[in-house]
Amino acid sequence: MSSYKLHPNYWKFRREGWTLEDFVRRSPRENVQTKMIAGADYDEPCTAEILAKAKENLRYFSVVGVAERFEESLALMKLRFGWKLESYSSFNVNRRCQRKRNLPQSTLALITERNRFDIELYEYAAKRFQEAIDKNAAEVSENVRELQGARIQEPLRSALFSIGAAARKAVNRAYSAAHNLHG
């Protein structure tokens, strides 16, 4: 958790020496992705019905991407939406995060237990993702090759690109918040 200094409770967790397992055990949140996609209340327990609704809702998504296959996901989006991407940069990527194999088994078991519906939803989404990749194999492969050439490699240029993207995101959020207040 040491890399999440912006979390509102970061300093409390650090001062009290919380582990990842402590955080998972004490967190009121579980199966958040399933609840979000189903449109369910975060504070209610997740159920098989909520999972079924989330799976049903995923069928209406234009594209389902998978973070660990980012370029293929981006290639599918490029294909689906007709995007022209001259360059892109991956940011908000934590290369220093703990690997699953380095976590205690009790922590992994607790995370799995608290997020079993999210895990099942992920497996369902990953299957849909792979089906879309298979269905569009030639186009996706071509788009991935193009994207690999468009990825910004230089650290300074990548940082500037990321700052610009973060600024656009902040402006969009501010606009959306203002629009929601007045609209």
DSSP per residue over 116-138, as a string?
HHHHHHHHHHHHHHHHHHHHTHH
Angle between helices 116-135 and 105-114 (to 10 degrees): 80
Summarised one tens digit per residue, pLDDT across range 147-177 is: 887 676 666 655 665 666 667 667 766 666 6
Mark the ranges of the chain whose per-residue pLDDT is less than 50: 1-3
Cβ–Cβ under 8 Å, residues 75 and 140: yes
pLDDT at 2: 41
pTM for this entry: 0.74
Tokens of 177: 């918040």
Tokens of 136: 């569009």
pLDDT at 59: 94
pLDDT at 113: 96
Summarised one tens digit per residue, pLDDT across range 120-130 is: 999 999 999 99
Tokens of 142: 């071509």
| 89-95 long-range Cβ contacts below 8 angstroms, 24+ apart | 89/151, 89/152, 89/157, 89/158, 89/161, 89/162, 89/165, 90/151, 91/158, 91/161, 91/162, 91/165, 91/166, 92/162, 94/3
Q: Bridge partners of 151?
A: 88
pLDDT at 86: 76
Q: Bridge partners of 88?
A: 151
Tokens of 48: 């098989």
Closest among 70, 77, 58, 42 to 120, alpha carbons compared = 58
